[in-house]
Amino acid sequence: MASAESSPLMSFDHVQASVTEFARGFNHSYYQPLHLAILNGDWESTKAFLDNDPSTLTAKITILGRTALHVAAVGAQWKLVEKLVQYMPANMLSELDLMGCTCLHYVAMGESVDSAKTLAAKYPSLTQVTDFKGFTPLIYSITSTRCKDMVWYLVLSTTDERPGCPFSGPSASQLVALLTAAGFHDITMYLLQRYPNLATISDSNGSIILNVLSKLPSHFQSGHKLGFWKRCIYHCVPVELEHLPPNQSSHHQSYFGNTIWDALQTLVPSIKLVRDTKLRHVNAVRLVEFVSSQASNLNDCQFWQSFVSADIIFSATSSGIVEILRICFRFFPDLIWTHMPNEGYVAQIAIKNRQQKVFSLLCKMPIIFKLLVLALDESQNTTSHLAARLASQVESISGSAFQMQRELQWFKEVEKLDHPLHKEVKNQEGKTAWQVFKEEHKALLEEGKNWMKDTSNSCMLVATLIATIAFAAAITVPGGNNQDKGIPIFLSDNTFMVFVVSDALALFSSMASLLMFLAILNARYTEEDFMMALPERLILGMASLFFAVVTTMVAFGAALSMLLKERLTWAPIPIALLACVPIALFAKLQLPLFIEMVISTYESQF
């Protein structure tokens, strides 16, 4: 991976020494008006100064040894850059300042591709000029991920020629590291297809590209969490798979299909973000496949063992990047036996870091996985001991009770695959896996208990209120009763039957909800209770409560309609609409939690 040496800036001591020497004969007060005019984008004052003293066009006007063109580029005054180029002699465009940069090095860090084109048009070989460290402007353009067009332009304009040799020389490793870290995987693939030697560049930590990617889980689908609607868009949106510059890309999709998606992206900008995300994920996978393929084609066992190093496997496993592991295991099957000192095998690393997708991948190799699971670490911990540890990065789940449930599910799943004898095996601290689990989760157990009680108390209050209203409404029906027979006056009305049924359902469901929440309050709150018993009670209680709220509003709407329909025949419509408001609010606020609880309880996470 790129180290501190890959920084394009010169060291402070070197620059300071050069500045001190240059400043001795520098007339700061004379050039200051020109310097300020350029930084302010004042072309009239700049041109007047240059007309008065033409020598200042090529003179160094700052203590950092920068020309007027350098100053305009550093100040991001792109219009002035393009105007100054017209007056500047071509040979002066390659002039280096005391930082070791040409004006194109600074322009490359900006977003004005037109300015870069103007400079290159006047001095075509400017893209090949290197700074004091041997870096071309292309390296500088990747210091920001904001202007991909600038990177594409310089990739196409830069050749692998001396003095820089950016694609085969010493700076090639920094180039691929920066491109990969920036997420420009399509550009990286474009270069790798033109210069295959870049795919197998490595250092002491193994493959440069794989090492960088193994630390970037967000560049893969497995490490990128999307909401429900974005997930739907993600699976539907098409992506282009060619690794060509934007103006050279062909389209696999039909013109009609592309037009529709382009229009949708314009109307809904979030679709473009999802599409770009998917494209980055797809290109990252293809990049890993290409690099692994190139390494395997070398047919050098000793090389690829160092190329796909243990550090890469460890980073990919601990970050949960299952795509890297799947591809590496396909090209180099023996990597499954990678062992990291003090960390263990891939299975142990995945279990320690709660990487469920890696765990699921290993489960598809049953024999190998069983052998890996049997291994003990340096502290005589079994895989069950490792699963019993409290996760350092707890998954985002609503409520401590369901975090406790997820921890139990994980522990039980690992324990199920571990050898039965390991249940009673004690580690160096003399504890079994279950003892470790109980000790590690004491605080979370208490938090889950309090969360369950607080939630139940709040819901019980609402359920009690609904039950009281429903019971009172059943006794004092709308319109009253016939004084002679005691029969409700509106008994023959269909709306009255709607009221009676909905009121009865509201009473029954609210009482059922009360019983469920009461059962939660009276629970033992042991660790095992959080696995199924308590979540099921909470799910049933909330479902009953939601049904009670809905039927209560239906009963209320029916009662008002009966009372007002003789005078206001249109009354049922607004009453029904208004009754939907609290139902919708309740659903919006509580339904996401309810769905999450159901998924967490009944859907397998592994």
CATH number of the structural domain spanning residue 12:
1.25.40.20
pLDDT higher than threshold 60 for residue 193: yes
Residue-wise pLDDT tens digits, 568-596: 666 667 777 777 888 788 778 878 788 88
Instruction: Report the C-alpha gap between 429 and 61 in whole angstroms.
Output: 70
* Among 127, 157, 187, residue at a domain's last position: 157
| Among 388, 386, 393, 389, residue whose Cα is nearest residue 372 | 386
The answer to whether 185 and 280 are in contact (CB under 8 A) is yes
571 in helix, strand or coil?
coil
Inside any domain, residue 227: no
| % of the chain at pLDDT higher than 70 | 87
pLDDT higher than threshold 70 for residue 4: no
**How large is the average pLDDT for residues 518-534?**
92
pLDDT at 493: 66
pLDDT at 464: 94
**How large is the average pLDDT for residues 178-188?**
92
The answer to whether 200 and 295 are in contact (CB under 8 A) is yes
Instruction: Report the C-alpha gap between 146 and 236 in whole angstroms.
Output: 26
The answer to whether 546 and 462 are in contact (CB under 8 A) is no
**How large is the average pLDDT for residues 278-282?**
91
Domain shared by 455 and 436, yes or no? no
pLDDT at 7: 55
Phi-psi sector, 523: left (phi>0), alpha (psi -120 to 50), beta: beta
193's tokens: 């297809």
Inside any domain, residue 358: yes
Cα-Cα-Cα-Cα dihedral sign, residues 472, 474, 479, 480? negative
pLDDT higher than threshold 60 for residue 353: yes
Domain shared by 349 and 491, yes or no? no
Domain shared by 94 and 43, yes or no? yes
Question: Peptide bond preceding 582: is omega within 30 degrees of 0, i.e. cis?
Answer: no
Residue-wise pLDDT tens digits, 67-105: 999 999 999 999 999 999 999 999 899 999 988 899 999
Instruction: Report the C-alpha gap between 384 and 421 in whole angstroms.
Output: 11
Q: Which range is least confidently modeled, 82-96, 340-354, 556-570?
A: 556-570
Domain shared by 457 and 598, yes or no? yes
Residue-wise pLDDT tens digits, 195-224: 999 998 888 888 899 999 999 999 999 988
| Among 266, 216, 264, 267, residue whose Cα is nearest residue 238 | 264
Inside any domain, residue 302: no
Q: How many domains does the chain have?
A: 3
Domain shared by 484 and 572, yes or no? yes
Give 603 or 489, the one with higher predicted confidence.
Answer: 603
- This prediction has a pTM of 0.81
Domain shared by 456 and 383, yes or no? no
The answer to whether 256 and 301 are in contact (CB under 8 A) is no
pLDDT at 379: 82
The answer to whether 119 and 126 are in contact (CB under 8 A) is yes
pLDDT at 5: 43
Give 530 or 379, the one with higher predicted confidence.
Answer: 530
Q: What is the mean pLDDT of the chain?
A: 85
The answer to whether 119 and 107 are in contact (CB under 8 A) is yes
pLDDT at 318: 92
Residue that is written with structure tokens 């419509």 in the block: 573
Give 228 or 519, the one with higher predicted confidence.
Answer: 519
408's tokens: 């139990």
Inside any domain, residue 362: yes
* Among 119, 138, 157, residue at a domain's last position: 157
pLDDT at 2: 45
Domain shared by 482 and 587, yes or no? yes
* Among 410, 440, 470, residue at a domain's last position: 440
pLDDT at 491: 58
Confidence of residue 342 (pLDDT cuts 50, 70, 90): confident
State the helix-helix crossing angle for 185-194 and 269-297, rounded to 10 degrees: 30
How many other β-carbons are positioned within 10 Å of the β-carbon of residue 569? 9
Number of residues that make up the chain? 606
Residue-wise pLDDT tens digits, 456-487: 999 999 999 999 988 888 777 665 555 555 56
| 11: DSSP letter | P
344 in helix, strand or coil?
strand
CATH code of the domain containing 387 = 1.25.40
Q: 203 CB contacts (<8 Å, ≥6 apart)?
A: 1, 173, 211
Chain centroid to CA 430 = 40
Inside any domain, residue 209: no
DSSP assignment of 404-453, as one string? Answer: HHHHHHHHHHHHHHS-GGGGS---TTS--HHHHHHHHTHHHHHHHHHHHH
Confidence of residue 253 (pLDDT cuts 50, 70, 90): very low
Inside any domain, residue 244: no
Instruction: Report the C-alpha gap between 141 and 125 in whole angstroms.
Output: 17
| Among 364, 374, 304, residue whose Cα is nearest residue 344 | 374
HSE on the CB side for 461, CA within 13 Å? Answer: 5
Residue-wise pLDDT tens digits, 223-249: 888 877 788 888 888 776 555 666 665
Domain shared by 508 and 565, yes or no? yes
Q: 135 CB contacts (<8 Å, ≥6 apart)?
A: 8, 105, 164, 171, 174
Residue-wise pLDDT tens digits, 118-127: 999 999 999 9
B/e letters for 238-262, b = 16+ CB within 10 Å, e = fewer, are eebeebeeeeeeeeeeeeeeeeebe
Q: Which range is least confidently modeled, 27-31, 90-94, 156-160, 259-263?
A: 259-263
Confidence of residue 3 (pLDDT cuts 50, 70, 90): very low
| Among 11, 27, 101, residue whose Cα is nearest residue 62 | 27
Q: 401 CB contacts (<8 Å, ≥6 apart)?
A: 448, 449, 451, 452, 530, 534, 535, 538
**How large is the average pLDDT for residues 270-279?**
86
Range of the structural domain that residue 492 is part of: 448-602
Instruction: Report the C-alpha gap between 488 and 478 in whole angstroms.
Output: 8
Inside any domain, residue 193: no
Angle at 345 between CA 341 and CA 350, to 5 degrees: 115
Residue that is written with structure tokens 């010169």 in the block: 10
Confidence of residue 536 (pLDDT cuts 50, 70, 90): very high
**How large is the average pLDDT for residues 172-194?**
92
Residue-wise pLDDT tens digits, 376-411: 887 888 899 999 988 776 566 778 888 899 999 999
DSSP assignment of 142-157, as one string? Answer: TT-SS-HHHHHHHHHH
Instruction: Report the C-alpha gap between 92 and 80 in whole angstroms.
Output: 16
The answer to whether 163 and 134 are in contact (CB under 8 A) is yes
State the helix-helix crossing angle for 400-417 and 442-475, rounded to 10 degrees: 120
| Among 483, 401, 406, 488, residue whose Cα is nearest residue 450 | 401
Inside any domain, residue 165: no
